[in-house]
Amino acid sequence: MARMEPFASRIDLGAGTLETAAAIIQRKLSDMRSAYADEAAVEQILAAEGDRLIYEVRAAGIDEVEGHIPHSTTVIQPGRVGDEFHMTKGHFHVKRDRAEIYLCLAGQGQLILQAEDGTVRTVAMERGTVAYVPPSWAHRTANTGDRPFAFFAAWPGDAGHDYGTIEASGFAKILVLRDGEAVLVDNPRRGGRP
Ligand code: M6P
Ligand code: ZN
């Protein structure tokens, strides 16, 4: 591996964002149409109000290769699509035995994890929560609050992002607002995606 110069970044601890980022990815509703269970709600939002920013990832720009530790901040805007809270696309790691660590910096949310056999777990996150994604769990985060939800993430450089498995079948469960509470319910579209 080529020698790399040491460096430091700064995180705005109020907003929970990397102040300088080598790469910024914005995911809008139109980029993740199939991620939400309520297809009609997606189309209704797009028609009525146009596109919507769901989340932004600011990455430090570390090479995604073995030995490095890429890291980023993610900010998910508050809101819902139908009953379902705004969330990230979610992914497995290509190398399933690679873990990841999250530090919540602002807002409130939940980390939603799914094992290969469909088992789903959630971990509540608020400022100061360190959440561990063990090897072999797909992971997605959802904003359950009314302010932006921000967290720092770091993962092994050779982990890789496998989005296809989740895109193909979705998570087994979705996080929705029911009677004022965030609850996990069966995904009505699980396995039946076009
Ligand atoms: C965290 C990390 C990143 C990931 C981002 C958004 O910052 O897990 O690797 O890219 O969240 O999640 P996703 O890639 O699933 O949209
Ligand atoms: Zn990951």
Interval 94-109: pLDDT, tens? 999 999 999 999 999 9
Ligand 1 atom, smallest distance to 140 CA: 15
- Indicate the SS3 state at residue 168: helix
Per the listing, tokens 């995911």 go with 27
Residue 70 CA, ligand 2 centroid: distance in Å: 10
The token duo for 41 is: 């709600």
Is the distance from CB of 61 to CB of 147 less than 8 angstroms? no
Could you say which ligand is closest to the alpha carbon of residue 141?
A: 1
Residue 194 pLDDT greater than 70, yes or no: no
Atom index in ligand 1 nearest the CA of residue 163 equals 15
Neighbours of 15 (CB within 10 A): 15
pLDDT of 137-155, one tens digit each?
999 999 999 999 999 999 9
Among 17, 18, 27, 57, which is best to mutate for testing ligand 1, by the most ligand atoms less than 8 A from CB? 57
Contact 84, 38 (CB under 8 A): yes
Predicted TM-score of the model (pTM): 0.97
The residues placing their C-beta within 5 Å of ligand 2, an ion, are 100
Taking only the tens place, the pLDDT of each residue in 2-44 is 899 999 999 999 999 999 999 999 999 999 999 999 999 999 9
The DSSP symbol for 22 reads S
